[in-house]
Chain A
């Protein structure tokens, strides 16, 4: 319990540092948001009044703490480009991206763990080598290209889904989840290959450890040694990687949303970056930071449950 509290505290501190860095970085960018909004022929008076209205004329520290105070309440200010609050722009997009992320996480675990364990169990056989070759190739496919390949194969050739035919969950949950399977698969495939590779090599590394020899010397069956002794030890590095993979999935989602035409966070992030709509960019980065940090927290907790050597 103490361990969890400690980790939560450290997460909050990290989040605070991230927010500070991000806010300061975006405030120090050359370029005047007021100028870019009104255009170059705006009068100095109009610019000054807009700056005042946007709160840009006050000290950085004041602006940061005001922003932080309202951000904690879920209010990220107003967009520069649209006359909308940032929160309302993001609110209905976030669930879509999160669904995509979790969906691909689940697919990744389902694909990689059984195959990795199986390949290591059958180390040296033909089936192991086939899995290794396919895995090696899959690992080299960037997520956006896997998205394109899946569209070509499952969408165009096999007609299993309509490319670009995103359906909102409000209209039809079954069609929503049916469509989302394919982009999730596109994200999950390359990552599964990495998890498979890691699990496979850490299982193979465990085979050479002394305690495995001890287990054999007690008359255990190979199966018991593999599943009863090695699997838990080998899962420790894999768990750490799953945390990082979760963070990578959110980056993957941003790209894959472009390939499959999904109206998620990725699209607003990109347009906001191009429009220099910083309140939106900052808000989305902070949201992603939250997701990443919370997933790392979960990993730390699972880690503690699996490995008794982790100190409080």
Chain B
């Protein structure tokens, strides 16, 4: 029997510069009906390019493709677009990373979900609407009628991705290509979307090509995996083999970069508190037209940060964890409550290493800024201190005279850490410090933070949505939801005997339910 998808020796080149640049080399892939294949790699590895080529969406004139792509025996690499169009949206469908921008902002959801039926079938508008409502119900959206008449901006991120899936699967395609479909979503929503994809695969026997940088998601969903690096497929095989006995160095590195959640012993010694937050409330007034709404972001929050610990703070976006960090550090005034700090000079590291360094200033100047403003140290001493700190984070002295735009994401985050070290703080608040980084870089930055913790005795308040990272890094953990700390305790308590429903849900979404004893 003919394979569903057969890709052989696919090469993709860009021609917009004087010298052509190849982004995908000798890509091979075979897929059977109903199979789920994962395509894994870091940003720039060529995984999205390969997927777009298979979907027939790489038709820019500055791009050249060589090789074979056959779908049910039909050559779709070199066929005219008119023939390709018969497959697109009918047999091969695609969903994308960012559901908000992937939906047309000025068209109603119903119109967009029905569109492929309009193109590929002779259905009457009434039949189409019926099918669309059913498709919306199939992706477990409540009140499909209302969603049908909404515009994209009126839905939440998770709902939009469900809509995208509904639109892609309405014509029962044989192949669904999902390009990082969960990356832009919250962790609990992520696992719901993965469950949904599983369900569609089972019920409709749709083959899925699942592209992701998240190995744990891939291991939950896929049957087979391809690992890509710099345009090459470095390793391929079924999920179990790859995860249990990876052959390639790179695959091993990727897998070892996933924070492990092994059982650990907790330190239970009583240590003094270095920060005490008591009964803090913060609310924002948001203007909605003429009306002013008050949103309570922090509701009577009390926490302690103990001397020498790494305290984890987990929760989904919008739960108030960043506001808590800003309140502790003094960027946000609390409406009520008190914050007592034992030591001055607490520093903060931000999530986005591209936004947290001033692009107009050199690294050296950025690092010297706090010393310049807050102490009367001489310029020579400032310089010497900056040199000392930048070597501490593993960068050379020459980086001091570079601009942030010349650095990679990981290097930038190192510079941020070095800047935080300048005032010799006892506590650093790290707000999602690695979530914008690729997984191997993540591991390096985490290692650096662990080293600083051990060598310099710096405490961290480590804020993250990633329970695996938190498990790896933290001694004690706080779980936050809608401005309230719902649970706190030592690592083993939280991960092995979660008490609060929300903590259990978070652990389940992260695939961490099985580590309990």
Contact = CB atoms under 8 A, between A and B. Distances in A.
- A and B part of one assembly: yes
Interface of A: 124, 209-211, 213-222, 229, 232-233, 236, 306-309, 311-312
A175 B93 CA distance: 61
9 contacts: A210-B102, A214-B103, A214-B164, A214-B167, A219-B120, A220-B89, A221-B85, A307-B105, A309-B151
Does more than half of chain A's interface fall in helix, strand or loop, or is it mixed?
helix
Nearest to A217: B94
B323 interface: no
B101 A211 contact: yes
B116 A210 contact: no
Contacts of B107: 229
Interface in B85-117: 85-90, 93-94, 96, 98, 101-107, 115-116
B106 A307 contact: yes
Contacts of B96: 210, 213-214
Contacts of B456: none
Contacts of A210: 96, 98, 101-102
B453 to A, nearest CB: 41
A233 B96 CA distance: 20
Contacts of A236: 106
Contacts of B103: 211, 214
Contact of B87 (A219, A309, A312): A219
A229 B103 CA distance: 10
A218 B104 contact: no
A311 B93 CA distance: 33
Nearest to B150: A308
Nearest to B100: A210
B102 A218 contact: no
B289 A311 contact: yes
B57 interface: yes
B57 to A, nearest CB: 6
A309 B94 CA distance: 26
B57 A217 contact: yes
A218 B105 contact: no
Nearest to B116: A218
A214 B102 contact: yes
Nearest to A222: B81
B515 interface: no
Nearest to B92: A217
Nearest to B61: A124
Interface string B136-150: 000000000000000
Given A219-B88, A229-B107, 7 more contacts: A211-B105, A218-B115, A218-B167, A220-B85, A307-B105, A308-B151, A309-B105
A227 to B, nearest CB: 13
Interface in B15-48: none
A233 B116 contact: no
Contact of B102 (A211, A232, A308, A309): A211
Contacts of A232: 106
A217 B55 contact: yes
A213 B90 contact: no
A300 to B, nearest CB: 14
A219 B118 CA distance: 10
Contact of A220 (B105, B115, B168): B115
B116 A219 contact: yes
Given A210-B98, A213-B96, A219 B90 contact: yes
Contact of A233 (B55, B87, B102, B106): B106
Contacts of B407: none
B153 interface: yes
Interface string B490-516: 000000000000000000000000000
A211 B93 contact: no
A307 B106 CA distance: 6
Contacts of A124: 61
B63 interface: no
B129 to A, nearest CB: 17
Contacts of A312: 289
Contacts of A213: 57, 96, 102
A308 B120 CA distance: 28
A209 B101 contact: yes
B119 interface: yes
Contacts of B153: 308-309
Contacts of B164: 214
B106 A308 contact: yes
B119 to A, nearest CB: 5
A216 B57 contact: yes
A219 B151 contact: no
A236 B81 CA distance: 30
Most central of A215, A217, A236, A309 by chain B CB within 10 Å: A217
For the complex of A and B, list the 7 residue pairs with the smallest distance between their C-beta atoms, beginning with the closest. Answer: A218-B89, A219-B89, A219-B88, A210-B101, A210-B102, A217-B94, A218-B116
B106 A217 contact: no
The residue in B98, B104, B120 that gathers the most chain A C-beta atoms within 10 A of its C-beta is B104
Nearest to B90: A219
Interface string B166-181: 0110000000000000
A218 B88 contact: yes
A311 B286 CA distance: 15
Contacts of B102: 210-211, 213-214
Nearest to B290: A6
Contacts of A307: 105-106
Contacts of B115: 215, 218, 220
Contacts of A218: 88-89, 93, 115-116, 119, 167
A309 B289 CA distance: 14
A224 B168 CA distance: 18
Given A218-B115, A308-B151, A211 B87 contact: no
A17 B510 CA distance: 58
A216 B104 contact: no
A312 to B, nearest CB: 7
Given A211-B102, A306-B106, A219 B85 contact: yes
Nearest to B96: A210
B332 to A, nearest CB: 27
Contacts of A211: 101-105
Contact of A219 (B105, B119, B167, B289): B119
Nearest to B86: A219
Most interface-central of B85, B90, B106 (chain A CB within 10 A): B106
A218 B289 CA distance: 38
Nearest to A309: B153
A94 B402 CA distance: 62
Specify which of B55, B102, B103 lies most central, judged by the most chain A CB atoms within 10 Å of its CB: B102
Contacts of B120: 219
A168 to B, nearest CB: 46
